[in-house]
């Protein structure tokens, strides 16, 4: 897929979401997306799907309520959080690495206060139903999350399965884990480090962002590589879900070929 150009404004639209549906990669310990046709063309002359899903599947948005008791739910997040100018930060990372505040600072020459911030490690290229994708991914450190809060990020999106390093989640030794039982030993062999020492706080980066009222998007994908290091206008379209902690989201970037980032007023 490439840019889609609006013939009236000349603005270019780019997909930043993975396809969602039956067979979408799902977190270890969570059910798969289940879809069946409630009615179908051959029998009824119309198609309608019945779906059962965990909301944290594929490209999805998290509300503060996800990890912060009495935090905003999906329906309570102000609509302006879903739309605005921002930047794609190119922060290449390999298996088990950590995105730090220093990494963000080095990549953020074009970042402005109040931006939507999209952090791309390259892990979206490994999107799959695999132990590698979910268990070996990089993740944000506490100081990276604090750096984003200090810059008043409007929304933070990552191309990894989760905001935090997997060993700071229940995939590792935290809160009912490990859900991936070989993960700690694989980390030790790959890095020579103690996972419980290096990642001893549970979901600390994600909790830091959500506690500051910053929604997050995980599993960014699509054609995000075309935007590395660039500014754009971003649009996220989540559900207005009462009591919802998360939901699948369509995430889109808009670029102005003139080099500025503007939205026309709609007048002829």
What's the pLDDT score for residue 222?
Answer: 97
Distance of CA 248 to the CA centre of its chain: 10
24: DSSP letter: -
Beta bridge partners of 231: 87
Cβ contact 129:26 at 8 Å? yes
What's the pLDDT score for residue 8?
Answer: 85
Dist. CA 268–CA 154, nearest whole Å:
31
What's the pLDDT score for residue 258?
Answer: 77
Which pair of tokens denotes residue 88? Answer: 């794609």
What's the pLDDT score for residue 128?
Answer: 97
What's the pLDDT score for residue 9?
Answer: 84
The closest of 123, 116, 66 to 92, measured between CA atoms, is 123
- Cα dihedral across residues 130, 144, 83, 65: positive or negative: positive
What's the pLDDT score for residue 1?
Answer: 58
Is the bond preceding residue 178 a cis peptide, omega within 30 degrees?
Answer: yes
Low-confidence ranges of the chain (pLDDT < 70): 1, 261, 263-268
Cα dihedral value 92, 158, 236, 207, nearest 10: -150
51-110 pLDDT, tens digit each = 999 999 999 999 999 999 999 999 999 999 999 999 999 999 999 999 999 999 999 999
What's the pLDDT score for residue 37?
Answer: 95
DSSP strand E in the chain: where?
A: 4-5, 12-15, 34-39, 48-52, 60-62, 83-90, 98-99, 116-120, 139-140, 155-158, 216-218, 231-237, 246-248, 250-255
What's the pLDDT score for residue 10?
Answer: 87
Cβ contact 230:87 at 8 Å? yes
- Cα dihedral across residues 245, 88, 224, 237: positive or negative: positive
Residue length of the chain:
268
What's the pLDDT score for residue 257?
Answer: 84
Burial class (CB in 10 A: 0-12, 13-18, 19+), 189: exposed
Backbone angles phi, psi at 101, to 5 degrees: -60, -40
């Amino acid at each position: 897929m490439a840019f889609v150009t609006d013939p009236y404004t000349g603005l270019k639209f780019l997909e930043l979401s993975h396809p969602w549906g039956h067979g979408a990669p799902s977190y270890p310990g969570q059910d798969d997306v289940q879809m069946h046709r409630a009615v179908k063309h051959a029998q009824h002359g119309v198609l309608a799907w019945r779906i059962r899903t965990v909301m944290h599947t594929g490209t999805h948005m998290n509300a503060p309520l996800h990890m912060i008791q009495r935090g905003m739910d999906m329906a309570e997040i102000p609509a302006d959080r879903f739309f605005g100018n921002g930047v794609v930060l190119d922060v290449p990372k390999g298996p088990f690495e950590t995105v730090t505040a220093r990494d963000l600072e080095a990549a953020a020459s074009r970042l402005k206060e109040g931006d939507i911030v999209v952090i791309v490690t390259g892990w979206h290229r490994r999107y799959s139903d695999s132990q590698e994708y979910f268990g070996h991914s990089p993740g944000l450190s506490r100081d990276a999350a604090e750096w984003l809060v200090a810059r008043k990020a409007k929304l933070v999106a990552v191309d990894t399965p989760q905001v935090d390093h997997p060993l700071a989640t229940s995939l590792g030794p935290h809160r009912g884990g490990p859900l991936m039982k070989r993960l700690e030993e694989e980390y030790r062999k790959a890095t020579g480090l103690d996972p419980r020492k290096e990642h001893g706080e549970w979901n600390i980066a994600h909790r830091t962002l959500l506690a500051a009222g910053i929604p997050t998007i995980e599993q960014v994908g699509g054609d995000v590589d075309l935007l590395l290091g660039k500014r754009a206008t971003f649009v996220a379209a989540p559900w207005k879900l009462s009591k919802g902690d998360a939901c699948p989201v369509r995430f889109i970037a808009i670029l102005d070929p003139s080099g500025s980032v503007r939205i026309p007023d709609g007048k002829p």
